Amino acid sequence: MTKNTRTYLLQAILFIVTVVTATYVGAEWTGDTTLHGWSWFWSGLNYSLTLLTILSIHEFGHYFCARKYGVETSLPYYIPLPLPTSFGTFGAVIIKKEREPSKRVMFDIGIAGPLAGFGAAVVILVYGFTHLPEKEYIYNMHPDYKNYSGDYAKHVYTYQYMRKEDSLYHEKVVMPKDSLKFIAAQKEAKKDTAQWHHKPFEAQKAYYIMGVGSNILFKVMSEVFVNDESLMPNSFELMHYPILFAGYIALFFTAINLLPIGQLDGGHVIYGLFGFRRHRIISLSAFTLLVLVGGIGIFKSNLLGINFFNADPLNMLLFAGAYLYFLYSMYERFFKDNKTTAILLATCIFAAQFMIEYMIPSWEGFSGWMMIFSYLLGRFLGLEHPPAAIEEPLNWKRKVLGWLALVIFVLCFTPEVFTMQVLIP
CA triplet 196, 198, 199: central angle to 5 degrees? Answer: 125
- Residue 49 pLDDT > 90: yes
Beta-ladder partners of 214:
none
- Residue 187 pLDDT > 90: no
- Residue 198 pLDDT > 80: no
What is the distance, to the nearest Å, from the Cα of residue 188 to the centroid of all Cα atoms in its chain?
Answer: 55
Single-letter residue type at 393: P
- Residue 404 pLDDT > 60: yes
Taking residues 221-249, report their average pLDDT. Answer: 94
Who wins on pLDDT, 423 or 67?
A: 67
Who wins on pLDDT, 283 or 161?
A: 283
Taking residues 127-148, report their average pLDDT. Answer: 89
Question: What is the C-alpha end-to-end distance of the chain, expressed in Å?
Answer: 65
Confidence category of residue 195, pLDDT binned at 50, 70, 90:
very low
pLDDT, the chain, mean: 89
- Residue 306 pLDDT > 80: yes
Taking residues 75-82, report their average pLDDT. Answer: 93
pLDDT score of 152: 79
Q: Which of 4-8, 114-118, 380-384 has the highest mean pLDDT?
A: 114-118
- Residue 177 pLDDT > 60: no
Taking the C-alpha atoms of residue 160 and residue 140, their distance in angstroms, rounded to an integer, is 22
- Residue 258 pLDDT > 90: yes
- Residue 201 pLDDT > 90: no
Q: What is the pLDDT of residues 259-271, one digit of tens each?
A: 999 999 999 999 9
Taking residues 63-80, report their average pLDDT. Answer: 94
Confidence category of residue 190, pLDDT binned at 50, 70, 90:
low
Q: What percent of the chain has pLDDT over 90?
A: 61
Contact 138, 128 (CB under 8 A): no
Who wins on pLDDT, 7 or 389?
A: 7
Which residues lie below 8 Å from residue 363, measured CB to CB, with a gap of 6+?
Answer: 296, 297, 356, 357
Beta-ladder partners of 96:
73
Contact 347, 353 (CB under 8 A): no
Confidence category of residue 410, pLDDT binned at 50, 70, 90:
very high
- Residue 389 pLDDT > 60: yes
Taking residues 108-127, report their average pLDDT. Answer: 97
Q: What is the pLDDT of residues 321-355, one digit of tens each?
A: 999 999 999 999 999 989 999 999 999 999 999 99
Radius of gyration of the chain (CA): 25
pLDDT score of 194: 45
Please tell me the pTM assigned to this model: 0.88
CA triplet 298, 331, 358: central angle to 5 degrees? Answer: 25
pLDDT score of 217: 97
Beta-ladder partners of 380:
none
Confidence category of residue 210, pLDDT binned at 50, 70, 90:
confident
pLDDT score of 193: 46
- Residue 60 pLDDT > 60: yes
pLDDT score of 414: 85
Q: What percent of the chain has pLDDT over 70?
A: 91
Taking residues 40-52, report their average pLDDT. Answer: 96
pLDDT score of 28: 93
Confidence category of residue 48, pLDDT binned at 50, 70, 90:
very high
Burial grade of 257 (CB within 10 A; 0-12, 13-18, 19 or more): buried
Contact 357, 294 (CB under 8 A): no
